[in-house]
Structure 1
Amino acid sequence: MTVGISLPAGGEQGENLVTTLLDQARQAADAGIGAVWFSQRQDLDALSLAALTGQAVPGVRIGTSVVPLYPRHPITLAAQVRTAQAASGGRFQLGLGLSAKFFVEDSYGVPFERPIRHLREYLEALGTLLHDGEIDFQGQTLRARTAFGPAGVPGAPPAPVLVAAMGPQALRVTAELADGVLPFLAAPKALDDYLVPTLNSAAAEAGRRPPRVVAMLPALVTTRTEELRARAHEDLTFYERFPSYRDILDRGGVERAGDLFALGDEEAVAAEIRRYREAGASEVVVTQTGFGTEEERLRTWRLLGELARQEAGAGE
């Protein structure tokens, strides 16, 4: 099982945020962490950061968690993916998400209509572009045509595509057309009872092998458990308003999103990470490691590197 982190971790400082994040990616790799995933924000571009990191930090796998597919066209996204894949020497993995209606429409002025149909057509088009380099596709929500012929980048094999899918319909589409899922705030119970069986069943029906399950888990090694738990409840309340997150929380038997923030000493955080593996996660990506102090972040990263080394040793 790969153990990764998500950047920005929170609380980054410095005169140049991109430089800071590259330095943190090097620091994570030095600690033994196997993968670095970049969050897409409105101030930073995750794909650009992934490409830069792929060149600057050898060995570590890189990804995005996640890039909203609205309003990017798959031809444009495929070009960005090829660039990041070539820059990293084949170590890039694309994390995609539908986002939410209010965000897409308010931010971009793009109608959020028939999202499951759009996800299906988007994944079909993107998969064709990444594998074949050209497309002439006309769907119900999407038109894509490579007017200038095949497009390919030497050194850029097709990158894995993962989707931040949690609803039943999105999981089925993902199982048919993508390589895995990136669920956030999906408790071990939700993984074990619902998400993994739904995903694997849909993959079997489509004649495909079980997709990867890359569980995103907020976690921090700290002695300030009660203080930070109260803050986590406040900071993660945002997610409780979204139907998809509310549903996955309910399936996991979780009332407050902040309850899923793994807080405590090394033993407590490691035990929580192992619960996700036992529930069916093939990988765990730890988020919000900058939630506390710099010392707490570094302590957490040292633990994650040690867990990665233990996993590697167990697999030999």
Structure 2
Amino acid sequence: MRLDDLDPSENVRDLGSGGRGGGGGFPLLGLLPLLFSGRRMGCGTIGLLVVVGLVYVMMSGGGGGLLGGGGGSLAPTQQGASTAGGTGAKVCNTAERLFSCRVLASTEQVWGKLFAASGQRYQPPTLNFYQGGTQSGCGAATSAAGPFYCPPDHGVFLDTSFFDELQNRFGAKGDFAEAYVIAHEVGHHIQTLTGTSQRVQQAQQRAGRVQGNQLSVRLELQADCYAGVWAKQSGRLEPGDVEEGMTAARAIGDDTLQRQAQGTVVPDSFTHGSSDERMRWLRRGLETGDPAQCDTFSGSID
């Protein structure tokens, strides 16, 4: 992606190190309280799927809904994120952070324009960098959870070490694969601003586990589509970027991760969508550039 000419976003915070799950510890153990807390963990936990696959194996549960149905946001807590290392573009002080800050700046431009076209004012999210672990308005999380979006904070939370995981473990290389991860989380912010996330969470509270999972899948696929819309509208795609995005979407599909972790696939336990579904909806956004084409809640998602 061509982002070098963009000034980094100012809507950035450095939360420092939470001392959880970093430096050779056991990040999985740090995440277990979240997994079994009864709170929904659906909004944007792309990297969490890696850990979930491991939990499937450890608990021998056959993929039986360890995320409590997924899809909605984590429940708000009394303690929100605290700023440790400063705010603003000055915290974009590594190559990985600078790239992330520029991606965020591009999403601000695109979604600002799209919201303005419909007579609305876009309120951008905050990108929160952390290392190892952090405390958010949705509770504690470790870097093993991967990037996530917390609605009470209107914030995307990112430990940039996940980019190494994305490349080395999943084989999803390239800058657009990384940008897709951030844009997906911003997609969850769009869902919060439009009220979609809240409506899905309310519906999940009335639904059974399987139906709740299906709603989660639709929410996640819409965020994938919104990521594609941003990429198309940004005008910054280069040759090979679409292929990088498709590789990333394929690598983090529920069926692919379950097959790698446990050798079997349990569709009723999907919370983010199959590889084919994630690729399809990301591509729809990339091809149309139209958020109106990202309605995953009407009709089939196939």
* Larger CA Rg, structure 1 vs 2: 1
TM, length-normalised to structure 2: 0.28
By relative contact order (CA 8 Å, sep 6+), the higher-ranking structure is 2
Structure number with the higher strand fraction is: 1
Q: TM-score, normalised on structure 1?
A: 0.27
